[in-house]
Amino acid sequence: EKKLGLVIDLDTCVGCHACVISCKGWNTENYGAPLSDQDPYGANPTGTFLNRVHSYEIQPKDAPAQLIHFPKSCLHCEDAPCVTVCPTGASYKRVEDGIVLVNESDCIGCGLCAWACPYGAREMDAEEKVMKKCTLCVDRIYNENLPEEDREPACVRTCPSNARHFGDFADPDSNVSVLSRERGGMDLMPEMGTKPVNKYLPPRPKDRDRSEDVDILA
């Protein structure tokens, strides 16, 4: 069985929100419509955002202020409270690949799962009255109608700074397992006991040796 998830690199994320837009585009029914019609960043953004990026300015002692960008979506927890709390069984975790999904026809819109998720990763669709969340683009990753290079989550496909990686954590040799091991991948709020599958890579020291870095503009 697979354990699919994301590695998100807080060192290389530049807060451009391309992943937010591509997620919104793929997961919106009017996918394909001009962005101006989807209006995800209009004056009155509507609908659900399954992936968000928060930016914070932090002020370390005796050092210049720093801007940190923090992408946030469902972490596909192994011990997911959103699943155990759901009274109808609409929320479930797939055995074959560990993706946490909502069966919308069984969802009664009670909102308990949103209360239970410690990461604020669930979004109530006010129009449809059902709960939405990141599906890890389950309709892309196995989609044989898409070219092979597109069979990954829309956010990963779009990120211009290679800050998002998708793969199978059950395979110790996969891209995400190796990256997480080498760069000290962290769980978000491990004290909650949810065992998130997604991992965050911490920012690297600014004065590190960059001679081995890949020049993405080359």
Which residues here bind ligand SF4, judged by CB under 6 A? 13-19, 53, 69, 71, 74-77, 80-82, 85-86, 88, 90-91, 100, 102, 107-113, 117, 119, 121-122, 131, 133, 158-159, 161, 163-164, 194
DSSP E strands in the chain: the ranges are: 4-9, 51-58, 66-73, 91-93, 100-102, 123-125, 130-132, 164-168, 199-201
Do the beta carbons of residue 199 and residue 186 sit within 8 Å? Answer: yes
Nearest to 50 by CA among 95, 6, 11, 94: 6
Alpha carbon distance 199, 9 (integer Å): 9
By beta-carbon proximity to ligand SF4, the closer residue of 51 and 144 is 51
By beta-carbon proximity to ligand SF4, the closer residue of 131 and 201 is 131
Q: Does residue 95 sit in helix, strand or coil?
A: coil
By beta-carbon proximity to ligand SF4, the closer residue of 4 and 86 is 86
Half-sphere exposure (Cβ direction) of 19: Cα atoms closer than 13 Å: 30
By beta-carbon proximity to ligand SF4, the closer residue of 4 and 77 is 77
Shortest approach of ligand SF4 to residue 129 CB, angstroms?
A: 9
By beta-carbon proximity to ligand SF4, the closer residue of 38 and 194 is 194
Shortest approach of ligand SF4 to residue 75 CB, angstroms?
A: 4
Do the beta carbons of residue 4 and residue 197 sit within 8 Å? Answer: yes
